[in-house]
Amino acid sequence: MPIVVEVQPKDNTFVGWDVRIASWKTRFTEVTWHVLTWSEESSGVFTGTSKGLSSGEYFVHAFLADIGREVEISVRGNAVVKQPTGKDWPMKIKVNGAVGSQTSDTWYFEYVR
């Protein structure tokens, strides 16, 4: 079953952000990046779909460039947020122009097929 990542940029464009998912071959070593095939689901909502992946621990990493860039990210299905503790989808990330012109963040989740 694929993992589906939903990204909703504040400006509704596929510009200035990169979202990926990854896992580890062994616990926290040898990172494997999984290909996401992107499509626009509706105006300004984008979905990245992986090939069939097994149950396990994964992380989603978001990189944003440009002042004011802001997105909401969700992992659909049986994806329980593990880190940060006590949080749930969607996660929000924004470039704070007072601090810099780019930012990134990572969220860990448990995926159950």
7-59 pLDDT, tens per residue?
A: 999 999 999 999 999 998 776 678 999 999 999 988 899 999 998 888 999 99
Beta bridge partners of 17: 64
Q: What is the dihedral of CA 27, 109, 16, 7, to 10 degrees?
A: 150
| 92: its two tokens | 């929000």
DSSP reduced 3-state for 45: strand
Q: Which domain holds residue 77?
A: 4-111
Degrees, nearest 5: CA angle 84-102-27? 40
Predicted confidence at residue 51, as pLDDT, reads 87
Q: Determine which of 6-10, 62-66, 94-98 has the lowest per-residue pLDDT on average.
A: 94-98
C-alpha 16/C-alpha 70 separation (Å) is: 9
- The reported pLDDT for the residue numbered 28 is 66
Q: Please tell me the total count of domains within the chain.
A: 1
Q: Mean pLDDT over residues 63-81, rounded?
A: 93
Strands 17-26 and 29-34 come out as antiparallel
Q: 104 pLDDT exceeds 90?
A: yes
Does the pLDDT of residue 1 top 80, yes or no?
A: no
